Structure 1
Amino acid sequence: MVSWQEDQIQALLTVESDASFFSALSGIAIKLGFDYCAYGMRMPLPLSQPKLIMLNNYSDAWKKRYLEQNYLATDPTVAHGMRSTLPLTWTDEIDSKSLPFWEDARAHGLGVGWAQSCHDKRGIGGMLSLSRSDDQLSIKELEHITSQISWLVQTAHEGLSRLVVPRLMPEATANLTTREIEVLRWTADGKTSSEVGQIMNISERTVNFHVTNTLLKLGAANKTGAAIKAAILGLL
């Protein structure tokens, strides 16, 4: 297990491009017995339309079909990953509502699979999906790969985050001072600049100075937006 981690997964933490990351990830998926691999990551911002990145080696036909049918909105593995970080084998979610999706997936060579998500303190969510056309997951195989895939999910999240977060959500890398954080905390509680100044025993002008700095660092239009962003990103 140690050799598997060091020789295979550590590559995910040192690659310098999205393509290199996915090449390493899909190579690990093959070693685990899966032909297809997908990793999706969802930023928590902007709130109105969170940014997404989706990497996979599915067939062009399935990619087109998935897009045409807007399966991202109804995919049961995605729905499961949004509410739980527990692993999901595809047979766990076969019901009347999702049956058309599964039948469509099988028709495109995706008959057996595993999905598991993770979420970090910045509110960034990611999900790893591994699949193949047939050969059901046996109890013995599940016992062998469960811990490896769970470890892979976390490592893949760290590896891809390192590459895409500075590009897609630069505010997540903001380095707020202790004073700026305190000002935003009180602001998030609905305090005015004058009230924050009294609470912190500083002038209202100083409060506004800190607010201005946070607006720049977080790319926010106003102090309410800055407080919301900071809270979502776990900076408070």
Structure 2
Amino acid sequence: MKNWQEDLLRIVTVAPGEQRVFDEIVAAARELGFEYCSYGLRIPFPVSNPKIHTLFEYPRAWAKRYQQAGYVETDPTVLHGRRSRKPIVWSDELFASTPQLWQEAQSFGLRIGWAQSCVDGNGCVGMLSLSRSSEAISANELKVNEPRMQWLVSIAHQALTQKLAPRILDVEKIQLTDRETEVLKWTADGKTACDIGQILTISVDTVNYHLRNIIAKLNVTNKTAAVVKALVLGLLN
């Protein structure tokens, strides 16, 4: 039986085109209980004029209004995502500095939301936002679903960066050792460093040493992103 990680990884195997990939991300978001979804990707080249790509599964009028008003420059969720990789739940307090944006978003049904950004070693920053019109996000929902939501963030970033910025991805030179591959495969199965140490009969420090090397080689920021990128590149086959 497939686990949810494998199910989400289908996203990176769909037909070419960022919209097709985004459609799969939207479907995964709905399975997690969210009506709406957006993804923004900032590509830092050229330095003088970084490229920003946005994909929306919002009411059309709101997506148009958001872009026309230039809300991306003041959106508190975007500002948070630029400085922090921690997920954030929407709240009145979060949008206190932008009441017009918040009021308009709610008028279109975007009242409850969650967002997290992701950055890679090439400097591409992406942010996934999941939202709905009702039912606050409970602590239990976060406990159960946030691991999947965070996987979706990493998968969205890897898949859409491949589609939107393929020329900056230098993947041919990446090679993992046999031990690094073993460690990453067990990580992909949800094992902790302690679990992996027991399975491979090595110390936790050694496991973490391999994980640090893997993260550096793959030019990512954490082990979840490393697993996703390695799977996307076929390094764990």
Q: Give the TM-score, by structure 2 length.
A: 0.68
Whether the 8 Å contact between 2:95 and 2:102 is mirrored in structure 1 is no
User: Greater share of helix residues, 1 or 2?
Assistant: 1
Instruction: Please give the residue correspondences for 1:167-206 in structure 2 after superposition, counting only pairs within 5 Å.
Output: 170-173=167-170
The corresponding residue for 2:54 is: 54
CA shift, 1:92, in A, is 7.0
CA distance in 1, matches of 2:143, 2:156: 21
CA distance in 1, matches of 2:31, 2:108: 22
Judging changes above 3 Å, is the alpha-carbon distance between structure 1 residues 84 and 92 closer, same or farther for their aligned structure 2 residues?
farther
Alignment pair present for 1:151 and 2:151: yes
Judging changes above 3 Å, is the alpha-carbon distance between structure 1 residues 142 and 175 closer, same or farther for their aligned structure 2 residues?
closer
Whether the 8 Å contact between 2:62 and 2:105 is mirrored in structure 1 is yes
CA distance in 1, matches of 2:22, 2:83: 25
The corresponding residue for 1:220 is: none
Judging changes above 3 Å, is the alpha-carbon distance between structure 1 residues 164 and 139 closer, same or farther for their aligned structure 2 residues?
same
Could you tell me which amino acid in structure 1 is paired with residue 140 of structure 2?
Answer: K
Could you tell me which amino acid in structure 1 is paired with residue 62 of structure 2?
Answer: W
The corresponding residue for 1:31 is: 31
CA distance in 2, matches of 1:2, 1:78: 34
User: Which stretch has the larger CA shift, 9-18 or 24-33?
Assistant: 9-18
CA distance in 2, matches of 1:82, 1:5: 26
The alignment's C-alpha RMSD in Å is 2.1
CA distance in 2, matches of 1:175, 1:11: 22
Whether the 8 Å contact between 2:162 and 2:169 is mirrored in structure 1 is no
The corresponding residue for 1:119 is: 119
The unaligned stretches of length 5 or more in structure 2 are: 174-218, 220-237
CA distance in 2, matches of 1:92, 1:23: 29
Could you tell me which amino acid in structure 2 is paired with residue 42 of structure 1?
Answer: R
Give the greater-gyration-radius structure (CA).
Answer: 1
CA distance in 1, matches of 2:98, 2:34: 22
The corresponding residue for 1:193 is: none
Could you tell me which amino acid in structure 2 is paired with residue 21 of structure 1?
Answer: V
Whether the 8 Å contact between 1:109 and 1:132 is mirrored in structure 2 is yes
Whether the 8 Å contact between 1:39 and 1:54 is mirrored in structure 2 is yes
The unaligned stretches of length 5 or more in structure 1 are: 177-233
Alignment pair present for 1:42 and 2:69: no
Secondary structure of the corresponding residue to residue 52 of structure 1: strand
Deviations 1:44-99 (A, max 9, x none): 11112111111111111101211222101101110000000000100174353122
Alignment pair present for 1:12 and 2:23: no
Alignment pair present for 1:140 and 2:131: no
The corresponding residue for 1:199 is: none
Judging changes above 3 Å, is the alpha-carbon distance between structure 1 residues 95 and 29 closer, same or farther for their aligned structure 2 residues?
closer
Could you tell me which amino acid in structure 1 is paired with residue 13 of structure 2?
Answer: T
CA distance in 2, matches of 1:22, 1:157: 11
Whether the 8 Å contact between 1:76 and 1:93 is mirrored in structure 2 is no
CA shift, 1:29, in A, is 0.3
Q: Give the TM-score, by structure 1 length.
A: 0.68
Whether the 8 Å contact between 1:62 and 1:105 is mirrored in structure 2 is yes
The corresponding residue for 2:210 is: none
Instruction: Please give the residue correspondences for 1:79-90 in structure 2 after superposition, counting only pairs within 5 Å.
Output: 79-90=79-90
Instruction: Using the aligned pairs only, state the percent identity.
Output: 42
CA distance in 1, matches of 2:29, 2:95: 27
